Structure 1
Amino acid sequence: MNLLLAYSALLLLAVLVSNLANRTILSTAALFLLAGFVLGDGVSGLIPLTPGDPVVATLAELALFAVLFTDGMRVGWTDLRHAWRLPGRALGWGLPLTLIITALTAHYLVGLGWIESLLIGAILAPTDPVFAAALVGNERVPPRLRQLLNVESGVNDGLALPFVMVFLAIAAGSADLHLGELALELGLGVLIGVAVPWAAIMLERTRWFSASHHYEPLNAVAIGLLVLALGKATHGNLFLAAFSAGITVATFGERQRESFEQFGELVAELLKLAALLVFGVLISPALLASVGWQGWLFAILALVLARPLAIWLSFLRSGLGTREVAAVMWFGPKGFASVVYALIVLNSAITAAEQVFTLVAVTIVLSILLHSSTDVVVARWFDDERETPAWHHTVRRVRAKLRGGRETGDPA
């Protein structure tokens, strides 16, 4: 009851301050995370949750399913073909390089084993589009930069997932026995994610079926629920099924995609905020104190070294300007997908589960606080009016009048 009450009150507060958050460093994600921390057992004890509580795993599962489904809908195959050059660098080079550099840092700085270090690298490699929203939605930001960040953040959650699952299986000591089963689970998830939406969309195109305008947004909802149910019934991987289903809908059902877009984003946002609240509850002062200076240094380096270095190497001779590359380097925030992957690890049987979760947790906390409070600032970096102050235009007009004409480039 306390969890529902807290979530409801925070959701109302987030709605009331959302306009302010879009213009300032205030972040609704940080609001839910910090509220969870204060309400958890480690501080006030108003929401007594433990990692083993069923609500933690269920909420994380549903939220990540919804997020991956909507992420997939942003990037149909047509979109990827038309805008693959720059996002391809970020995903094909930046993602694995970020994973490797993060893993090297975890191994040599913290002393984790190689598999656990690679697992942390895979968990922290994806980026979250929420914290780059001010850039993606700002028309003064170059379109290719906005498209790059949007496509990358929409795809990398799904691309990192198989690595997380494989490294987690190896860390659990099931490399010989269960990797074949894992491959079957992943493949079955992709098959369900492609087959169910394709069949549903083709069925609606026949002369016997047609969705009304009122029910059209529910079409994709029904597809998503059916994919979720079949994934659970067949033990296919739910998350790859969700991501594949989103891409399939975007590729073959443009009408379904458009009708679901706004509704789907809201559903995913509701679940994401709830998961962030639960994640905050699980982060106690004792957990933060147990990290040690190596853990905090790792978290800092994961944000200011791993992603920036990987992106800098990936975009050499790409044609992007210095400011654009700098923005992509900085906006590699660790957000919701990393939260859920960390919760999956925490509920696993691996020996280093708690240590992995702790390192990932402090990295995500720092990322949410730093990236969500700087997106508006970085977006203003591309504001032409801020690059060229008003007094500069005034001086140019005065000079032009003294010369008897208007200088080229002077605004009317």
Structure 2
Amino acid sequence: MPVLATTNFNIILSVLGGWVSLFGLVSYLCKESFYLSEALISLLAGVALSPHAANFIRPIDYALGSEENLAAITLAFSRLVLGVQLVLAGVQLPSRYLKKQWKPLALLVGPIMAAMWMATSLLVWALVPGLPLLHAMAIGSCVTPTDPVLSAVIVKGKFADHNVPKELQKIIIAESGANDGLGYPFLFFALYLIKFIGSGSSPGDGGARVAMGLWFGETWGYTILLSVVYGAVVGWLAKELLHWAEEHRFVDRESFLVFAISLALFIVGTCGMIGSDDVLACFVAGNVFTWDDWFRLETLDDSLQPTIDMLLNVSIFMWYGAVCPWDRFLHNEVVPIGRLIALGILVLLLRRLPWVLACHKWIPQIDDIRQAIFVGFFGPVGVSAIFYLYITLEFLHTLDVGDQPRSDLKALPEAVLVVVWFIAICSIVVHGLSIPLGKLGFYLPRTLSRSLMSTSSDEPDLVLPFSLGNRVTSFTLRRRPGAGARAGAGAGVESGTGTEEGTELDTVQPDSKGHGVYRIGGSVIPNRHETTGGGILDRRDGSDPTRNTSADIGDAERASFPRNSGPSGGRAIRFPDEPPLTSGQAAEKDAITPA
């Protein structure tokens, strides 16, 4: 007799698979039409399916009823997501980006990050009753780094392509990747002082001198510098090995495309074993791995990496929605809910925005005050904050006396848990809704006016794109079926000729519904079967319109990139951006291909 097997494994697979499938059906509508991030939507789904609601996701059962096991699972899951995200962030940056842009990046992860830490710590100290300053500094350090997962909402997709200049996108990616790993010095500065000079420490512990020695030697030397060197070495070796394997036709396309993901897993595992900074090592390794731009350009038009990225994002934020201590926001012994709400608002307003405004003139990627406000406001708190939260709890557990916390640390674990989780949730919600609400508030009247005018316009086929501030190089036009060259001319773009400076894609052949098709990340996917005039891409230089391209790269950049010699590049892999094989190359390929 068949029995219904409602085991935890079956339930979690059903819930996760069902949610990813359902979200996938409307993902383009949510992300590219309503500008809602998958992080916010998945967080809400996690809350709805958590023990507080439908009780389909039961994290405490998966942790065998132990809060310590649940914390360990959440920390490991966060490490995995951050590691993969930061390798991909490093791969996204152009050739030698960290070397070329070290000055603005150093300003962002140096003085500005330190100011963010101190501002947040002072706010926590002022609003959490009875909390010592050192404890507030530990809590403030957890929410100091900007989150690379949530930052993706302003550096990927149609909104970013239309409204955020490319150079600004790159510096945001670089900052969110670098400052995640550099959160360790701020955190352990406070934790070492708590351990050695806190009111519960003993005189024989060594005091501030030992604390500073450990901070410089262990945190900066072993954790930070070792991770930078290790990440650079692993990234360079991986690049050279992949070059060698690809030149000798030892690697197939699938393994080639997934190489960056496997590299992230390797670094997270090995750095975890030696106790170094796996987050920073992953970012450095990703950037060194594509130091010559080879891997980035070869995988530019492939969707595997963004797909893995999306699956991890959906999974981690569903998990956060289920494990978040929602009841402790109302019922805790450290901070009343009114002060907690005030703290969340003030942190989002004062943690980052004033310091970016003060220093934006020295950051060349920020052109004006409007962009400075944009960059200053969008400094989200998310996965990295939860990661450092559980690092803090793990460290505090080592200071227990027997089975009890040290006398001066009884309230700190609950304080850091409640405050960091609440600020992270506030950031996910506020930053997840800022773009759609801003678009609705500022552009709804203009959209209605434009719609009314279009009924009497001589150009009824033209659909103007949403635009905020500066236009960027990946600007494209969407057309309704039947729209011809006159629509392009009406928008200031002639058929086959771009009149806007820096525009690489001048016209886009509509799909069956009349829209240009965007891949994940916002670039246009052309129809590769079109081979004649009036095809997908009309390029200024008169090159073959059937070649696949991306809004991120022009012909000059592709032409300058060194390729292997030989009629087909000497490679076993053929990528979509390559021209078709000639008859002689096809014959040669058939001759060496085993039957």
TM score, norm. by length of structure 2: 0.58
2:414 pairs with one of 354, 357, 376: 354
1:369 aligns with 2:429: yes
Hey, what's the Cα distance between the residues in 2 that align with 1:40 and 1:163?
A: 33
1:105 aligns with 2:150: no
Letter in 2 for 1:62: L
1:268 pairs with one of 288, 309, 326: 309
Counterpart in 2 of 1:114? 133
Instruction: String of CA shifts for 1:147-201, please: whole Å, max 9, x gaps.
Output: 4433333333233344335444544559378544444244333332121221232
Structure number with the bigger relative contact order (C-alpha 8 A, sep ≥ 6) is 1
Hey, what's the Cα distance between the residues in 2 that align with 1:386 and 1:78?
A: 42
Hey, what's the Cα distance between the residues in 2 that align with 1:125 and 1:251?
A: 28
Deviation of 1:301 after TM superposition, in Å, equals: 0.4
Letter in 2 for 1:129: S
Spell out the pairing of 1:3-402 with structure 2 (5 A cutoff): 3-22=12-31, 23-24=33-34, 26-50=36-60, 51-52=67-68, 53=70, 54-75=72-93, 78-83=96-101, 87=105, 89-111=107-129, 112-127=131-146, 128-132=150-154, 133=156, 137-173=160-196, 175=211, 179=215, 180-182=217-219, 183-206=221-244, 211-252=251-292, 254-255=294-295, 258-259=298-299, 262-289=303-330, 290=332, 291-292=335-336, 293-316=338-361, 320-349=367-396, 351=409, 352-378=412-438, 390=450
Stretch of structure 1 that moved more, 279-288 or 297-306? 279-288
Unmatched tracts of structure 2, length 5 or more: 1-7, 61-66, 197-209, 398-408, 458-489, 493-595
CA contact (8 A) 1:295 1:359 kept: yes
Deviation of 1:359 after TM superposition, in Å, equals: 0.7
Deviation of 1:234 after TM superposition, in Å, equals: 3.0
CA contact (8 A) 1:43 1:285 kept: no
SS, match of residue 226 in structure 1? helix
CA contact (8 A) 1:193 1:242 kept: yes
CA contact (8 A) 2:75 2:386 kept: no
CA contact (8 A) 2:357 2:369 kept: no
Deviation of 1:267 after TM superposition, in Å, equals: 2.3
Hey, what's the Cα distance between the residues in 2 that align with 1:216 and 1:326?
A: 40
- Give aligned pairs, total: 397
Stretch of structure 1 that moved more, 100-109 or 24-33? 24-33
Counterpart in 1 of 2:64? none
Stretch of structure 1 that moved more, 177-186 or 234-243? 177-186
SS, match of residue 59 in structure 2? coil
Q: Go from structure 1 to structure 2 and tell me whether the alpha carbon gap of 1:368 and 1:288 turns closer, same or farther (over 3 Å shift).
A: same
Deviation of 1:324 after TM superposition, in Å, equals: 1.6
Stretch of structure 1 that moved more, 270-279 or 358-367? 270-279
Letter in 2 for 1:191: V
Q: Go from structure 1 to structure 2 and tell me whether the alpha carbon gap of 1:4 and 1:114 turns closer, same or farther (over 3 Å shift).
A: farther
Stretch of structure 1 that moved more, 9-18 or 226-235? 226-235
Instruction: String of CA shifts for 1:47-94, please: whole Å, max 9, x gaps.
Output: 332442253232122112212222222336622344556555443443
SS, match of residue 356 in structure 1? helix
Stretch of structure 1 that moved more, 103-112 or 169-178? 169-178
Stretch of structure 1 that moved more, 255-264 or 351-360? 255-264
CA contact (8 A) 1:131 1:333 kept: no
SS, match of residue 396 in structure 2? coil
Q: Go from structure 1 to structure 2 and tell me whether the alpha carbon gap of 1:14 and 1:348 turns closer, same or farther (over 3 Å shift).
A: farther
Q: Go from structure 1 to structure 2 and tell me whether the alpha carbon gap of 1:154 and 1:76 turns closer, same or farther (over 3 Å shift).
A: farther
SS, match of residue 138 in structure 1? helix
Stretch of structure 1 that moved more, 194-203 or 294-303? 194-203
CA contact (8 A) 2:234 2:285 kept: yes
Letter in 1 for 2:15: A
Instruction: String of CA shifts for 1:24-69, please: whole Å, max 9, x gaps.
Output: 1544212222232333344454433244225323212211221222
Percent identity of equivalent pairs: 22
Letter in 2 for 1:264: Q
CA contact (8 A) 2:181 2:277 kept: no
Q: Go from structure 1 to structure 2 and tell me whether the alpha carbon gap of 1:327 and 1:49 turns closer, same or farther (over 3 Å shift).
A: same
Letter in 1 for 2:295: R
Letter in 2 for 1:228: V
CA contact (8 A) 2:236 2:288 kept: yes
SS, match of residue 215 in structure 1? helix
Counterpart in 1 of 2:404? none
CA contact (8 A) 1:71 1:155 kept: no
Hey, what's the Cα distance between the residues in 2 that align with 1:269 and 1:165?
A: 32
Hey, what's the Cα distance between the residues in 2 that align with 1:175 and 1:135?
A: 48
Letter in 1 for 2:132: G
Q: Go from structure 1 to structure 2 and tell me whether the alpha carbon gap of 1:136 and 1:186 turns closer, same or farther (over 3 Å shift).
A: farther
Q: Go from structure 1 to structure 2 and tell me whether the alpha carbon gap of 1:212 and 1:324 turns closer, same or farther (over 3 Å shift).
A: same
Higher helix share: 1
Letter in 2 for 1:244: V
Rg larger in 1 or in 2? Answer: 2
CA contact (8 A) 1:283 1:361 kept: yes
Deviation of 1:372 after TM superposition, in Å, equals: 0.8
Instruction: String of CA shifts for 1:226-285, please: whole Å, max 9, x gaps.
Output: 323432443333222222211221214632674387433332332233222222222244
Unmatched tracts of structure 1, length 5 or more: 398-409
CA contact (8 A) 1:192 1:230 kept: no
Letter in 1 for 2:306: E
CA RMSD of aligned residues (A): 3.6
Letter in 1 for 2:415: Q
Q: Go from structure 1 to structure 2 and tell me whether the alpha carbon gap of 1:231 and 1:411 turns closer, same or farther (over 3 Å shift).
A: closer
CA contact (8 A) 1:65 1:238 kept: yes
Hey, what's the Cα distance between the residues in 1 that align with 2:111 and 2:159?
A: 22
Letter in 2 for 1:13: L
Stretch of structure 1 that moved more, 349-358 or 247-256? 247-256
Counterpart in 1 of 2:563? none
Q: Go from structure 1 to structure 2 and tell me whether the alpha carbon gap of 1:227 and 1:102 turns closer, same or farther (over 3 Å shift).
A: same
Q: Go from structure 1 to structure 2 and tell me whether the alpha carbon gap of 1:56 and 1:257 turns closer, same or farther (over 3 Å shift).
A: farther
CA contact (8 A) 2:48 2:54 kept: yes
